[in-house]
Chain A
């Protein structure tokens, strides 16, 4: 079986742009919800002074993550603010003092076994840096290490424009392999697969030259067919195993980790500096000088754009991430998050919504869906508000990769309909459960 996908324009304009460190922002705003799970709990208050690497919020549950400051300065405010997902969450606003004093909390973790390894990963504040934002330590907290047959390192980077993972592969190759060493030692992993799309020949060559010195790391070159970087697609194409619906990669013996996350962890083990800054690809039709930049978490997008050379035309739409799965931000002052691998700024022409016409039943959506869903039928069932049909059509399997919406000649908002249909199905299942209980 071959998993379907689509060919999208790559626009990897910034692949040769080594990341540059931008000057400090005038303010950083750090939402407590930059990961999947419970929002973090702030441990600083207005007026506190903080240093670089200092913990400013704690993990509030098992699936949560601590947050650290990327600047030294003064806490201006800890208050609820509206963030890009439409929810109000507490945010910590810090005004940098420009001194960038390193906190005394920053010291390399002491790792002796699997338990202390997972604890160190938790303390680093690491979440999936490829965009998903799932707390890394939760993924690595495996009860029986023998269950792990392979660690799949996700370097596919299948979204258009984004090259921050490519830069990790090129610039931080040593750290990637130090991270692999740590996994070998503390997770007892004996097989590593680096999945990477074939449109990054330089990165593939460099990774291969390092992998040759080991006997358990393979560089698996994938075709550039979107969405190779989707967890299910990646595990299937590298290990020929399909993660069942509702299961984790571990259920088929895989642990999937983003390549930038892995490199970050290795760097953290060495320096003790938690996740306070990251590489972001700044590109899109409105950007004057597309490039990769290193910025503190919390830096406003507006300041990132300005410091990186500005815009050549007015921004009409700004995305966290790339054009296929990116989230449109409501405000140009929205902050860079831990999982913001790219900021795509579109001009009016690129952002113009296409004209929607009636469905012509061409079948392009269902013939390109990686998970073999039928968005055409889902849209009909959604219109009828039929939870039963949506259940049979398995809409909750949808990973919202956007293939259907991309190929649709009638430009129908299929991903949006799928999202709405998922909500209908959720309500339907809940009411079914209630009935069963009664």
Chain B
């Protein structure tokens, strides 16, 4: 007689795996990666390659060193590398990009227990640490290679939000340039079109739900309107699109339930506005997500759906 397998139900499983989810995120980031090379030149690709390879390598080495199961095949380190690169200026020295990658994977992710356990977004936390450590190179912005009105020289420039903060409204890029990403800024955050495409892909594939990005972007829009700011500009400038679709939707550092996601998104939007309009920094998306990451366990606990007990809580 052959031996039969025994297991607790269900005996069917969906085809979706962690690796497949991460692959979907990578696919969603490809348009923005391609556009970053178009906009800022080949050095973009070098920064991306550095971050991705150092992230994967440091995860591999750390897990080997700690004799843990090696999990690089789940592709989450690739996603972290891509997102970190997207949050850096194209001129960043490569050793600094590598340093940031090590911080993201080892300090923020692995030391807290690896995938699913980190309380803060690794890419965002690493970026904030780099902004403190390398404040000069982290704010060294260059103009895009060209704009819709013709080729431009690669010279130092400021991001649109910095220009607004400084009141230099005449040098601002046009709405169209903003939409296609022809402006100064982090290499992956500028092309609104590419990020929207990627975000929509993730929503259609069911990898993320619409709740976080809609709440986040919606709050920024409404608050900008109330504060009398240029709404389309506030939405397309800075890292809002990248943050709302790809960073505020990180699984392990944000609430898993729908109401929690809405609270999280609204909170991110409010903090972003607070920093942009009244803070010292021109941009606040990264800080807002990190702050809300810290609140996530409480948001999750307070917004957890009530089980359907039908009113009876018999004990």
Q: Which residue of A324, A328, A344 contacts B7 across the interface (Cβ within 8 Å)?
A: A328
Closest chain B CB from A147 CB (angstroms): 17
Q: Answer yes or no: A43 CB below 8 A from chain B CBs.
A: no
For A365, give the chain B residue with the smallest CB separation. Answer: B256
Asked if B17 is at the interface (CB within 8 A of a chain A CB), the reply is yes
> Which of B47-55, B129-137, B304-312 participates in binding chain A?
B304-312
Does A331 lie at the interface of the complex (its beta carbon under 8 Å from any beta carbon of B)?
A: yes
Contact at B10–A324, with CB atoms within 8 Å? Answer: yes
Pair B18/A357 contact, Cβ less than 8 Å:
yes
- Inter-chain contact A391/B307, CB cutoff 8 Å: no
Asked if A271 is at the interface of the complex by the 8 Å CB criterion, the answer is no
Contact check, A245 vs B4: say whether CB atoms are below 8 A apart: no
Asked if residues B4 and A358 are in contact (CB atoms below 8 Å), the reply is no
How near does chain B come to A156, taking the closest CB pair, in angstroms?
17
Please tell me if the beta carbons of B9 and A327 are within 8 angstroms of each other in the complex.
Answer: yes
Interface 0/1 of B3-20, CB less than 8 Å to A: 011111111111011101
B4-A397 in contact (CB<8A): no
Query: Which A residue sits closest to B261, measured CB to CB?
Result: A363
A331 with B4: CB separation less than 8 A: yes
B252 at the interface (CB under 8 A from A): yes
- Which one, A328, A358, A411, contacts B6 given CB within 8 A? A328
B residues within 8 A CB of A415? 8-10
Cβ of B302 within 8 Å of any chain A Cβ, yes or no, is: no
Give residues of chain A (218-273) contacting chain B, Cβ–Cβ below 8 Å. Answer: 232, 242-247
Are B9 and A357 in contact, CB atoms less than 8 angstroms apart?
no
* Assembled-state Cα–Cα distance A408/B10 (Å): 11
Check: B177 CB closer than 8 A to any chain A CB: no
Q: Is the CB of B313 within 8 A of A361?
A: no
B2: CB under 8 A from chain A? yes
The residues in A between 351 and 379 inclusive whose CB is less than 8 angstroms from any CB of B are 351, 353-354, 357-363, 366-367, 370-374, 376-377
How many residues on A have C-beta within 8 angstroms of the other chain's C-beta atoms? 67
Q: Are B115 and A360 in contact (CB under 8 A)?
A: yes
Interface size class of B (residues with CB under 8 A): 35 or more
Q: A358-B71, A409-B20, A429-B315 are in contact. Are A394 and B307 (CB under 8 A)?
A: yes
Q: How many A-B residue pairs have CB under 8 A?
A: 160
Residue pair A405, B10 in contact (C-beta under 8 Å): yes
B243-273 toward A: CB 8 Å interface, digit per residue (1/0)? 0000000011001111000000000000000
Tell yes or no: A111 within 8 A of B by CB.
Answer: no
Give Cα A367 to B300, complex, Å.
13
Please tell me if B116 contacts chain A, counting CB pairs below 8 Å: yes
| Beta-carbon contacts under 8 Å, B176-215 to A | 209
Chain A contacts of B67 at CB under 8 A? Answer: none
Is B114 close to A, CB under 8 A?
yes
Measured CA separation A407–B207 after assembly (Å): 12
B12 touches A360 (CB 8 A): no
- Bound-state CA distance A67–B12 (Å) is 33
Report yes or no: A351 in contact with B251, Cβ–Cβ below 8 A.
Answer: no
Q: Name the interface residues of A373-416: CB closer than 8 Å to any CB of B.
A: 373-374, 376-377, 391, 393-394, 397, 400, 402, 405-411, 413, 415-416
A405 neighbours in B (Cβ, 8 Å)? 9-10, 13
With A247-B312, A397-B309: A367-B257 Cβ-Cβ less than 8 Å: yes
> Which of B68-103 touch A at CB < 8 Å?
71, 74, 76
Query: Is the beta-carbon distance between B10 and A360 smaller than 8 angstroms?
Result: no
Contact status A245-B256, CB under 8 Å = no
Contacts of B4 in A (CB 8 A): 315-318, 328-332
**Could you tell me the distance in whole angstroms from the C-beta of B5 to the nearest C-beta in chain A?**
4
| Nearest-neighbor residue (CB-CB) of B113 within chain A | A358
Residues in B whose Cβ lies below 8 Å from that of A6: 14
- Flag if A328 contacts B5 (CB, 8 Å): yes
Q: Does A109 contact B (CB under 8 A)?
A: no
Q: What residues of chain A have their CB less than 8 Å away from a CB belonging to chain B?
A: 3, 6, 8-9, 160, 232, 242-247, 314-319, 323-332, 344, 346, 351, 353-354, 357-363, 366-367, 370-374, 376-377, 391, 393-394, 397, 400, 402, 405-411, 413, 415-416, 419, 429
What are the nearest 6 A-B pairs in CB distance? A363-B256, A402-B10, A244-B310, A244-B312, A416-B8, A323-B12
A-B contact pairs, 21 of them (CB 8 A): A8-B12, A244-B311, A323-B10, A332-B2, A351-B11, A353-B5, A357-B18, A358-B114, A358-B115, A358-B117, A361-B256, A362-B251, A363-B255, A366-B256, A366-B304, A367-B209, A371-B308, A373-B307, A391-B315, A400-B9, A413-B8
With A328-B11, A402-B10 already in contact, 14 other A-B pairs whose C-beta atoms are closer than 8 Å: A243-B310, A324-B9, A327-B9, A331-B4, A354-B13, A357-B17, A357-B18, A358-B71, A359-B116, A367-B209, A394-B313, A397-B307, A397-B308, A407-B16
